[in-house]
């Protein structure tokens, strides 16, 4: 928890055990936040005493603290002291429950929710005042959220300083408040958080001061620029892909306009990918995100007996349609090629049958796809009114048939939830994905267009699940027109010192890939493309190291088909230097 760390057996890798006096003020605030979030409302750090060891090779730091009693919430109510303003809608935003352990973050979250309701109702100069009454006998806190009329103060102007590269407009558009609007302290704090989240500045301070009259304020924004471009060379490792090399050149604040440009190249065992991406987050001076991508990706016998190549570009525009919802409209043009598929034949060296399913043989070739699509996204993190639980939902469809060789509709659905529990030390996640491919004009789907289930269900190899032609010699995965996958995971500390960067995890996945238009396999025998459910459980070990974040997955398939290819262990590492 503290920024200052005690020296341990891994001190060669962990450098935060070096004493730095400036950290003690941060540590004092961290201790205060830690105790108060666990009910100790009267917690104080009375003194901090650093002492030099007798050998003069170390410091001993003593924090003299006073905990005080541990409180729970007692009576909680909401009242309106503003004539004509009903407290009903505000009361519905209360997230403080009687009997719960005191936590100031819950109070702050409720205030943010109530202030958002005031903005929606067009109520200006409304203060949400939390009034706390201590009951020492039963160690409870009675809490009243009082809606009061604040002073009539307006924003006179917003002054920006320190931005030597970034344009003023990039910073100014993080404010929903403009000159002449009613002054809302919460909105100013939210704007400050958005400015810091840009990642363009080493430091960003947003403060308000009295303007030319007591009824006006001036908002001062002082920023300190930092480098936003990076040139990375890296190494990655995966059980399937082996050792790979990565190269990327990126600029997150191109020409000081807030635009993102990146060029990347990666190679592994049997795989190569490269691409260029450009993102304009504020197209035409409005909240419209424009993006443009081009790519060139290939695989060579990557856990299969065929090769693939994909080259194309995508362009799209994303716009907000609600407080937490956004809609993207896009167009994609690509040429996808499946090659090196050998028909069933007798191998001259071994004298045994070799080759792929006739289904794959009929799928090979290069085809152009011209598609228009959309994706609706609902993300609760946009407003962040619930700090403990986050929701994300997406629904997207792509129609290929605006020219090209393919006529089909692809539908994808994703729903995910993430929550912090047990004093925010445990992270729980659940994700559900669905996909469907519908061919038009009675055409047959191709291997390149079908779903493979890769990276959807842990415990199985790349191209490890889905329908297979068991009468073909190589029994390559054929993919499917449909898939679904449900993934659940818990990530938690293992009781080791925080500075070691080691966390544990448990997961359980279930899902399936199924459905073919062309089921006529080898020897004219129909391929089984039914929805056979796969399930796997496992444990994970997360380790943040100086050479990059490592994840070890140990999996066990509980339900599978005989021909599925399992992956009981997986290690991933990615680092830059």
Residue pointed to by tokens 């009997």: 99
Q: What is the DSSP letter of 435?
A: E
pLDDT at 372 over 90: yes
Highest mean pLDDT among 40-49, 245-254, 383-392: 40-49
pLDDT at 542 over 80: yes
pLDDT at 577 over 50: no
Positive or negative torsion for Cα 520, 521, 522, 528: negative
Nearest to 519 by CA among 448, 469, 449, 464: 469
Kind and range of the H or E element at 28?
A: helix 23-36
Highest mean pLDDT among 182-186, 423-427, 571-575: 182-186
What is the spatial distance between Cα 122 and Cα 158, in angstroms, rounded to a whole number? 22
Give the pLDDT band of residue 180 (cuts 50, 70, 90).
Answer: very high
Cβ atoms of 394 and 376 closer than 8 Å: yes
Cβ atoms of 515 and 480 closer than 8 Å: yes
Which residues are CB-neighbours of 229 under 8 A, at least 6 positions away? 249, 250, 251, 252
Average pLDDT over residues 262-266: 91
What is the spatial distance between Cα 313 and Cα 512, in angstroms, rounded to a whole number? 30
**Quick one: the chain helix, strand, coil %, rounded to 5?**
10, 50, 40
Which of 208-217, 386-395, 403-412, 519-528 bottoms out in mean pLDDT, i.e. has the lowest? Answer: 386-395
pLDDT at residue 576, as a whole number: 40
pLDDT at 487 over 50: yes
pLDDT at residue 136, as a whole number: 92
Domains of the chain, start order: 1-70 (3.10.20.310), 72-149 (3.10.20.310), 154-225 (3.10.20.310), 314-576 (2.40.160.50)
> 67: which 2 tokens?
């905990």
pLDDT at residue 304, as a whole number: 86
What is the spatial distance between Cα 18 and Cα 123, in angstroms, rounded to a whole number? 51
Give the pLDDT band of residue 344 (cuts 50, 70, 90).
Answer: very high
Which residues are CB-neighbours of 372 under 8 A, at least 6 positions away? 329, 330, 331, 332, 398, 399, 402
What is the spatial distance between Cα 223 and Cα 203, in angstroms, rounded to a whole number? 6
Which of 98-112, 244-258, 430-444 bottoms out in mean pLDDT, i.e. has the lowest? Answer: 244-258
pLDDT at 21 over 80: no
pTM across the whole model: 0.82
Average pLDDT over residues 113-124: 88
Cβ atoms of 177 and 154 closer than 8 Å: no
Give the pLDDT band of residue 571 (cuts 50, 70, 90).
Answer: confident
pLDDT at 23 over 80: no
pLDDT at residue 209, as a whole number: 93
Which residues are CB-neighbours of 177 under 8 A, at least 6 positions away? 155, 158, 183, 184, 187, 188, 191, 219
Average predicted confidence (pLDDT) for the chain: 89
pLDDT in tens, 243-258: 777 788 889 999 999 9
Q: What is the DSSP letter of 526?
A: B
Average pLDDT over residues 533-540: 96
pLDDT at residue 347, as a whole number: 87
Q: How far is CA 314 from the centre of its chain?
A: 22
Residue pointed to by tokens 């090659």: 339
Nearest to 388 by CA among 127, 29, 37: 37
Q: What is the DSSP letter of 523?
A: G
- Total residue length of the chain: 577
Q: How far is CA 476 from CA 304, 356, 365, 517, in A?
A: 6, 7, 17, 17
Cβ atoms of 358 and 344 closer than 8 Å: yes
pLDDT in tens, 8-17: 555 444 455 5
pLDDT at residue 241, as a whole number: 56
Average pLDDT over residues 176-187: 89
CB-count burial class (<10 Å; 0-12, 13-18, 19+) for 15: exposed
CB-count burial class (<10 Å; 0-12, 13-18, 19+) for 237: middle
Q: How far is CA 449 from CA 177, 234, 437, in A?
A: 47, 31, 8
pLDDT at 363 over 70: yes
């Amino acid at each position: 928890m503290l920024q200052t760390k005690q020296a341990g057996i891994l001190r060669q890798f962990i450098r935060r055990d070096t004493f730095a006096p400036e950290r003690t003020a941060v540590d004092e605030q961290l201790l205060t936040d830690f105790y108060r979030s666990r009910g100790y409302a009267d917690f104080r750090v009375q003194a901090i005493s650093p002492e030099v060891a007798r050998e003069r090779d170390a410091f001993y730091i003593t924090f003299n603290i006073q905990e005080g009693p541990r409180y729970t919430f007692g009576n909680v109510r909401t009242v309106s002291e503003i004539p004509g303003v009903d407290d009903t809608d505000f009361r519905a935003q209360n997230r403080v429950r009687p009997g719960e352990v005191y936590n100031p973050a819950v109070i702050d979250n409720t205030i943010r929710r109530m202030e958002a309701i005031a903005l929606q109702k067009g109520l200006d100069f409304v203060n949400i005042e939390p009034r706390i009454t201590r009951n020492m006998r039963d160690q409870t806190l009675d809490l009243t959220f009082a809606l009061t009329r604040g002073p009539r103060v307006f924003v006179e102007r917003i002054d920006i300083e320190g931005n030597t590269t970034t344009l003023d407009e990039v910073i100014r558009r993080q404010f929903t408040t403009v000159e002449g609007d009613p002054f809302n302290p919460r909105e100013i704090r939210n704007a400050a958080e958005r400015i810091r989240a840009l990642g363009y500045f080493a430091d960003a301070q947003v403060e308000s001061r009295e303007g030319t009259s007591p009824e006006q304020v001036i908002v001062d924004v002082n920023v300190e620029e930092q480098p936003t471009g990076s040139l990375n060379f890296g190494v990655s490792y995966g059980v399937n892909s082996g050792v790979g090399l990565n190269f990327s050149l990126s600029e997150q604040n191109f020409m000081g306009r807030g635009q993102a440009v990146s060029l990347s190249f990666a190679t592994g065992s049997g795989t190569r990918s490269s691409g260029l991406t450009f993102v304009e987050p504020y197209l035409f001076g409005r909240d419209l995100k424009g993006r443009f991508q081009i790519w060139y990706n290939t695989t060579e016998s990557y856990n299969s007996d065929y090769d693939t190549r994909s080259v194309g570009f995508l362009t799209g525009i994303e716009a907000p349609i609600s407080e937490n919802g956004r809609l993207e409209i896009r167009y994609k043009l690509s040429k996808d090629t499946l090659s090196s598929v050998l028909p069933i034949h007798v191998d001259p060296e071994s004298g045994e049958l070799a080759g792929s399913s006739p289904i794959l043989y009929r799928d090979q070739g290069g085809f152009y796809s011209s598609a228009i699509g959309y994706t609706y996204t609902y993300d609760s993190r946009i407003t962040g009114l619930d700090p403990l639980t986050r929701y994300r939902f997406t629904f997207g469809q792509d129609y290929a048939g605006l020219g090209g060789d393919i006529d089909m509709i692809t539908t994808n659905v994703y729903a995910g939830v993430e929550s912090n529990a047990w004093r925010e030390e445990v992270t729980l996640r659940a994700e559900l994905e669905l996909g469907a491919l519908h061919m038009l004009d009675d055409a047959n789907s191709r291997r390149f267009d079908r779903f493979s289930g890769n990276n959807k269900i842990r415990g199985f190899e790349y191209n490890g699940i889905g329908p297979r032609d068991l009468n073909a010699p190589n029994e390559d995965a054929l993919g499917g027109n449909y898939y679904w996958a449900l993934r659940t995971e818990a990530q938690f500390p293992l009781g080791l010192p925080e500075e070691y960067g080691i966390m544990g995890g448990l997961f359980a996945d279930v899902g399936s890939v199924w459905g073919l238009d062309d089921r006529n396999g080898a020897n004219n025998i129909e391929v089984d493309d039914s929805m056979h459910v796969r399930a796997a459980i496992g444990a994970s070990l997360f380790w943040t190291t100086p050479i990059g974040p490592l994840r070890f997955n140990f999996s066990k398939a509980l339900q599978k088909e005989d021909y599925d290819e399992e992956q009981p262990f997986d290690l991933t590492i990615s680092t830059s230097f």
